[in-house]
Amino acid sequence: MNRRILLKFGGNALSDKDDMNRFAQDVCTISNAGFTPVIVHGGGPEISAEMERRGMKALKVAGLRITDIDALHVAEEVLKSLNSEIVQVFQKAGCSVQGMSAEGIITASKKPPVLSDGKEVDLGYVGDVASVNPQSIDSVLMSGNIPIIYPICSDSNGLKLNVNADTVASGVAKAAGASEMVLVTDVPGILNDGKRIPSLTLADVDNLIHSKVITGGMLPKVEACRAALLNGANTVYMLNGKEPHSLARRLINGEDCGTSIMVE
């Protein structure tokens, strides 16, 4: 078995060191069980905290960070440092990994203004996935390493852009040819009235967006799920990173945890 799988996690999901250590152990476990993981991480809470420390205001619209040039520099600095720390955790857990930015894997384009309260808002140095380069992923995997990627990209002219980590995850999943994608979050899955929804189709997702059950920061996540599914993934899972060994339990044991999403 050689199932390529994209794993994405953010700062909220694995903010506790024990959670992070368990996740790294799970990645080693699924790797030994025949999966080929490719990892994307964000760092929203850490970026916001550093901006606040520097007296900068963190603003978001529709779950996306408004990024001027100063905020872009902070985001890149924080994500690069965080990536180094994550690489060390995985190495201690026994995984062979390579830390890297999404530059060279994803070519981005500036994200158009988004609507907020009937007004268009320019997000600044924020990008969307324009194209992907499978060779960059393949070369890392062929060397026997698991890529650990942070979401700073660049456009065709080399201009750096901050791209939402969930959006990068769906693009990297396509580049890697991943049959499955897992979004590791800090909630049990997609919730409706506080209750976990075990499985959804994309039509169900659209209904939940329309009825305002899915809002805010969950919107980029489900749109990343949609993009991954429409680009070849068979299934996307949302799992709680604070739930012990949820990754291995779901993928290896087939336990009913989190929310699974399929096209139909």
For the chain, give every domain's residue range: 3-262
Task: Give residue 73's pLDDT band: very low, low, confident or very high (50, 70, 90).
Answer: very high
Please give the pLDDT value at position 58: 84
Decide if pLDDT at 194 tops 80. Answer: yes
Residue (of 167, 151, 149) closest to 90 by Cα position: 149
pLDDT at 231 over 90: no
Cα 202 from chain centroid (whole Å): 19
The residue that leads in pLDDT, 97 or 218, is 97
Residues belonging to the binding site are 43-44, 65, 162
> Quick one: average pLDDT of 165-187?
91
Give residue for tokens 């850490």: 46
Q: Say if residue 5's pLDDT is above 70.
A: yes
CA distances from 119 to 61, 116, 144, 217 (A): 11, 5, 48, 19
What is the 3-state secondary structure of 167-207? HHHHHHHHHHCCCEEEEEECCCCCEECCEECCEEEHHHHHH
- pLDDT at position 64, please? 82
pLDDT per residue as tens digits for the range 100-138 = 999 989 999 999 998 888 899 999 999 999 999 999 999
The pLDDT assigned to 10 comes to 82
DSSP bridge pairs for 129: 108
* Cross-strand bridge partners of residue 65: 60
Query: What is the largest distance, in Å, between two alpha-carbon atoms of the chain?
Result: 50
Q: b/e string for 170-183 if b means 16 or more Cβ within 10 A?
A: bbbbbbbbbbbbbb
Q: What is the mean pLDDT of the chain?
A: 92
Mean pLDDT of 15-40: 93
pLDDT at 143 > cutoff 70: yes
Residues 188, 151: Cα–Cα separation, whole Å? 24
Q: How many Cα neighbours within 13 Å face the side chain of 95?
A: 31
State the pLDDT confidence band at 220, using cuts at 50, 70 and 90. confident
Please state the residue numbers annotated as binding site for substrate.
Answer: 43-44, 65, 162
Mean pLDDT of 76-95: 96
List phi, psi (to 5°) of 232.
120, -15
Q: What is the pLDDT of residue 106?
A: 94
pLDDT at 1 over 70: no
User: For the chain, what percentages of helix, strand and coil (3-state, to nearest 5) are there?
Assistant: 40, 30, 35
Q: Which tokens in the block code for residue 154?
A: 């660049």
Collapse the DSSP code of 119 into the 3-class scheme (helix H, G, I; strand E, B; otherwise coil) and give the result: strand
To which CATH superfamily is domain 3-262 assigned? Acetylglutamate kinase-like (3.40.1160.10)
Q: Locate 186 and state its tokens.
A: 């800090």
Return the closest-CA partner of residue 128 out of 164, 76, 102: 164
